[in-house]
Amino acid sequence: MGLFNTFDVAGSALSAQSLRLNLTASNLANMNNVAGSADEVYRARHAVFRSAEPTFADRLAAVGVRVLGVVESRAPAIERFDPGHPEADENGLVYAANVNAVEEMANMLSASRSYQSNLEVINTAKQLLLRTLSLGQG
């Protein structure tokens, strides 16, 4: 039945978007991390979304969203010349996390908007289902 499916679909989007919001929080929290080498420093993490697409034989309409995994950004770590830093290497360089704050803020806004719209879908579906259940009782 249609309406119960709507909850699954919108629910999958809610969990995907909350994962994205969590990753944004993690990236922003670790934005100022520094390390002595480019390999050790924190790297920005992003979720990869994919629609849970059915095969062509089964063209069922409702498909949720699936998180394929979390990938680390391949952008180079930011080198900073800071010879007084305890973590600095022999050239006086420290490596800062490759988090782009502007990108993360945009991501956060997008994730929270998507979360809101999916929540609205669930609320509307719930109301319609409740009205359907009380059909003919009035």
Partner 1 sequence: MDPIFGIHASALLLRSQRMDVLATNLANADTPHYKARDFDFATALDRAAGRGGLRVTHRRHIGGPSSAPSSDLAYRVPHQPAVDGNTVEADLELARFAENSVAYQASLSFLDGRISTLRLALTGGR
Residue ranges in contact with partner 1 by CB under 8 A? 1-3, 5-6, 9-10, 12-13, 16-17, 20, 49-51, 59-65, 110-111, 113-114, 117-118, 120-121, 124-125, 128, 131-132, 135-136, 138
Contacts of 8 (CB under 8 A, 6+ apart): 62, 64
The smaller minimum CB distance to partner 1, of residues 42 and 115, is found at: 115
CB of 11 to partner 1, least distance (A): 9
**Token digits of residue 123:** 């609320």
CB 51 within 8 A of CB 66: yes
Cβ-in-10-Å burial (0-12, 13-18, 19+) of 82 comes to middle
Closest alpha carbon to 46 in 118, 111, 96, 119: 111
CB of 30 to partner 1, least distance (A): 23
The smaller minimum CB distance to partner 1, of residues 24 and 41, is found at: 24
The smaller minimum CB distance to partner 1, of residues 36 and 64, is found at: 64
Closest alpha carbon to 32 in 100, 107, 87, 97: 97
CB of 71 to partner 1, least distance (A): 13
CB of 131 to partner 1, least distance (A): 6
